[in-house]
Amino acid sequence: MSSVDYKSIASFLHLAEVEKREVVRITKETPLSIEDAYRVQEELVALKLEQGHRIVGPKMGLTSRAKMKQMNVEEPIYGYIFDYMVVPDGGSIKRQELIHPKVEAEIAFIMGKDIEGPGITGAQVLAATEYVVPALEIIDSRYENFQFTLPDVIADNASSSRVVIGNRPIRPDQLELDLVGVTLFINGEIKDLGAGAAVVGHPANSIAMLANMLARRGEKIKAGDVILTGGITGAAMLSVGDTVLAKADGLGEVSFKVS
């Protein structure tokens, strides 16, 4: 049995987020297995719920081949987006509320039905999806220099920090989501671009993997969940004064400013 104190690590990471302070990564002093890391994440989620925050939905991270190779993993990771993280489309994020934020462009799914693994496929996910929208995720690792091992980032709720969700929902059968081109602009200049297929072949596959991963912990995806499927573009650093825009073919645009 592990002797890791999940609750105190979760409190440490929660305080770092609240105090907008980068901290030494956990595994520098305390070895964590992947299982330990998800146990810490569960405590962190419980802490946020106790404080009155509400879960908007799970998110998937490390879904691109490049990020998986960089972290030497074969499976993405997940975390949770909370209500206090949601910024309205066209709104602002406050740089001083964050540590060292980066932004990546994604496609978000709004679920119409529960999905419970194991054995879920992308086709089943699409059948259970009400709408898809473009999204901008702001990740803000609580660790020094945005550097971590896989268990560290899982424990840190997959670097979740802020999210801007597009406000023009589209039915998923209106598009071939793997072929949707997404361009990330900062201050009017193209920062990066990619296609939906960058997310484990198809963004619906990412949610199928999520359902199957959650099933190992006796959990499921719920109707009404808004789920970030993973970065289509790379993550770009943000500075005060930046205007950030993502355009997704057939899905429209989503934007925010950094104040």
Q: 231, 242, 245, 256: which one contacts Mg ion (CB under 5 A)?
A: 231
* 231 near ligand 0L1, rule: CB under 6 A: yes
The nearer residue to Mg ion, 37 or 227, going by C-beta atoms, is: 227
- In whole angstroms, the minimum distance from the beta carbon of 158 to ligand 0L1 comes to 4
Give, rounded to a whole angstrom, the gap between the first and last alpha carbons of the chain.
47
Q: Please state, as a whole number, how many other Cβ atoms lie within 10 Å of the Cβ of residue 13.
A: 23
Residue ranges in the chain assigned as alpha helix (H): 6-18, 34-50, 65-71, 122-127, 150-155, 203-215
- Give yes or no for a contact between 17 and 82, defined as CB atoms under 8 angstroms apart: no
- Write the CA distances from 7 to 4, 36, 124, integer angstroms: 9, 11, 36
93 binds, among ligand 0L1, Mg ion, none (CB under 5 to 8 A by kind): none
What are the beta bridge partners of residue 58?
Answer: 80
**Structure tokens belonging to residue 136:** 């901008």
* 158 near ligand 0L1, rule: CB under 6 A: yes
What single string gives the DSSP state of each residue in 180-219? -EEEEEETTEEEEEEEGGGTTTSHHHHHHHHHHHHHTTT-
Contact characters 178-217, Mg ion, x per CB under 5 A = ----------------------------------------
* 137 near Mg ion, rule: CB under 5 A: yes
149 binds, among Mg ion, ligand 0L1, none (CB under 5 to 8 A by kind): none
**Structure tokens belonging to residue 198:** 């960058």
The nearer residue to ligand 0L1, 160 or 183, going by C-beta atoms, is: 160
* 214 near ligand 0L1, rule: CB under 6 A: no
* 161 near ligand 0L1, rule: CB under 6 A: no
Tokens 């999520």 sit on residue:
210
Q: What share of the chain is helix, strand, coil (3-state, %, to 5)?
A: 30, 30, 35
Contact characters 94-113, ligand 0L1, x per CB under 6 A = --------------------
* 79 near Mg ion, rule: CB under 5 A: no
Q: 16, 37, 107, 153: which one contacts ligand 0L1 (CB under 6 A)?
A: 153
The nearer residue to ligand 0L1, 133 or 235, going by C-beta atoms, is: 235
* 61 near ligand 0L1, rule: CB under 6 A: yes
Per CB under 5 A, the segment of 16-24, 32-40, 120-128, 130-138 that binds Mg ion is: 130-138
Contact characters 89-128, Mg ion, x per CB under 5 A = ----------------------------------------
The residue type found at 236 is A
Task: Label residues 186-223 b or e (16+ Cβ within 10 Å = b).
Answer: beeeebbbbbbbbbbebbbbbbbbbbbbbbeeeeebee
Give the interface with ligand 0L1 as residue ranges (CB under 6 A): 61-62, 137, 139, 141, 153, 158-159, 230-231, 235
